[in-house]
Structures are given as C-alpha cells and as structure tokens.
C-alpha cells in the first residue's frame, strides 16, 4: 500500500507496526482472507510509478488520472510511504464450496437482473 507520510495511517503504523488485514469479497457467497503480521514503512518517491499503477488499478484510466492530479501537490511536497506487510498468520474462509455452481452464478448476477430484487 502507499500513503502520505503525514497521514494518520502512516503515523499510527510508525507507532505500532503490528497489524491485522482483512480482505473480503462483499458478494455472496462470502469469502475472505485475514492476515496478521507486521509492516515496514519505507519512504519512496512519487515518481516511482507505484502510485500510478495503483490508481489505475482501482479507479480505471480516467479516475486514476484524476486521482493523480488531486494528490500530485501533496505527494511532491511530502513524498509517499510504501507499506509492506510481512504476514505471521494467514487464514481465510470461502462459503462458495457450501453451495452448488448454479446458485453461486445466480448470487453473483442477481444485482444485474432487470427486475426488482424483492421479486427474486
């Protein structure tokens, strides 16, 4: 992850580098991975290209460019901090094995159906 060295996140992690990170799929059937570990903070240049890659990944090309414009002044002034997690424990769950493939497909696609959700 990347953040500004002046952000509350960077300050908190500098004080206490022990973390728990959860990544969860919000679409039924739910699944998640939970990692405990410690983080290392490393100052990096905004020109390193990582910020652009992450912005494009999460916001798309247009949104990524707008995000870069919005954060360029602060990044040039303060730089960035690269947060690297070293896991000590990894666990997870996936409820997708509990149901059949047709129901999994339906649960993923039901929000895209052109009928009111209350009908289904």
Q: What's the pLDDT at 10?
A: 96
Domains of the chain: residue spans and CATH? 2-95 (2.30.110.10)
Answer whether 0.85 is exceeded by the pTM.
no
Average pLDDT for the chain: 87
Distance of CA 110 to the CA centre of its chain: 24
Q: How far apart are CA 3 and CA 110, in angstroms?
A: 36
- Give the residue with greater pLDDT, 111 vs 16: 16
Confidence of residue 88 (pLDDT cuts 50, 70, 90): very high
Question: When comparing pLDDT for 76 and 23, which is higher?
Answer: 23
pLDDT at 48 over 70: no
Q: Inform me whether the pLDDT recorded for 51 exceeds 80.
A: no
């Amino acid at each position: 992850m990347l953040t500004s060295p002046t952000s509350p996140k960077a300050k908190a992690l500098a004080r206490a580098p022990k973390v728990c990170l959860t990544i969860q799929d919000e679409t039924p059937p739910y699944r998640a991975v939970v990692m405990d570990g410690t983080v290392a903070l490393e100052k990096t240049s905004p020109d390193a290209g990582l910020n652009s890659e992450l912005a494009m990944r999460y916001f798309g090309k247009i949104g990524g460019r707008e995000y870069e414009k919005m954060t360029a002044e602060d990044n040039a002034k303060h730089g960035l901090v690269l947060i690297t997690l070293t896991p000590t424990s990894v666990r997870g769950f996936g409820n997708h094995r509990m149901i059949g493939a047709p129901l999994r497909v339906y649960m993923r696609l039901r929000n895209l159906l052109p009928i009111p959700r209350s009908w289904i």
